[in-house]
Amino acid sequence: MLIKILDLDGSLINQPALKKIPAINVQSFAAKTRIIARKSVLFKLTELIGAVQENQPEIIFYGSGDFHHLTAALVSRHAQPLTIIHFDNHPDWVKFPATFNCGAWVNRALDMVHVVKVITLGVNCNDLENPDRKSANLQALQNGTLELYPWYHQPSYVKGSYGRGMSYEQQGSCIHWNNLSTKNWPDFTKDLVKTISTEAVYITIDKDVLGTNEATTNWDQGSMPLTHVTSMIKAISEKLKIVGIDVCGDYSPPKFYDPLRFFLAYFDHPKNLNPTRADLDINSSTNQKLIDCFMELK
C-alpha cells in the first residue's frame, strides 16, 4: 500500500512514525476546511492527492478529526461498489445541515451510488441520546444502508418507529444497541466480514474511537482498543479487497477566521483541551502501530 500525508494542520509532519513519508502541504486550505467545507474545496484537495491507482491502494493520513468530512471526497474517487468501514467515537450522521461537515459526512457518502453501506464501529458518546431529536439519519439504519455498533450505549429513546436491523432492535420507544464491549471480538469480526456484500471495502479511522491512553484528539474519546481496530482490518483484508484507508484523529489547535466555524467548534469540542508533549507523542506511537498493521495486509 502507498502511504501519503495530507498536511492540513501540521500535526503529522514531525511525528517520528511519519517524518520520512512525503507530505503534501495544504495548510492554506485548513481554515476553510476545518469543521465544515464547500464541496468544491474538498474535491480540490483530492485533486492534489492524485488519481487512485487501482493496483496500489493508498493510505492517507490528514490530521485532526475536524477534517473527517474529507472522507466523503476521498470515497468519491472510487468507482466500484464498496462498503465503508468507519471506526469512530461519533456517528457523523446528522441530516441537518446537509453540507460537507465532520458531523454529517456519512450521509454525503451514502448519497453516492457506489456506496452500498456504511458500517460504523465504536461509538461511545452522547450523540446516541435522543438521536432523532438530534437529526440523526435513523432512516438509513432502517433501510439497511447503515449499521452502527456502539462500543457501549444504553438504549436510545426515539419518537419514530425503526424496527430492527443488524446492529439494533427497537423495543417500544427505545432502540437497543448491539454493543461491541460485550462481544467476543474474533467471533464478531468473522461474522461481520461474512455479511459484507461488496468485494471492495474502504476504511476510515478516526482515532477518537480509542481511549486517551492510545490517542490524543480534538474530541471526546471512546474506549475501543487499538488491537480491535487492527485485527478487524486484517480480517477484512484476508477475505475482501481494501481499496483505500484514511486516518484522522490527531490533535491540532483549532484556528478559525470566521464566526460560523468558531461557534460550531466551541459547542462541539470538549472544553479546555491543552495536551502536553507526552500526550501528543501517543499519537505517533499509535500511527506507527497502524502503519505496521497496514504493511501486513494482503
DSSP H helix total and E strand total for the chain: 8, 14
Contact 290, 247 (CB under 8 A): yes
Domain that holds residue 126: 2-295
Q: How confident is the model at residue 188 (pLDDT cuts 50, 70, 90)?
A: very high
Q: What is the CA radius of gyration of the chain?
A: 18
**How many domains does one find in the chain?**
1
Indicate the length of the chain as a whole number: 298
Global pTM value: 0.97
Per-residue pLDDT tens over the stretch 127-166: 999 999 999 999 999 999 999 999 999 999 999 999 999 9
Residue type, 180: L
Note the pLDDT of residue 93.
Answer: 98
Mean pLDDT of 196-222: 98
Note the pLDDT of residue 250.
Answer: 98
Longest dimension (CA), the chain: 55
pLDDT value at 266 more than 90: no
Note the pLDDT of residue 264.
Answer: 81
Q: Is 135 left (phi over 0), alpha (psi -120 to 50) or beta?
A: left
Note the pLDDT of residue 262.
Answer: 81
Q: Report the CATH number at residue 115.
A: 3.40.800.10
**Strands in the chain per DSSP E:** 2-7, 23-25, 36-37, 58-61, 82-87, 100-101, 115-121, 146-149, 156-157, 164-165, 168-171, 174-177, 200-206, 241-248
Per-residue pLDDT tens over the stretch 72-86: 999 999 999 999 999
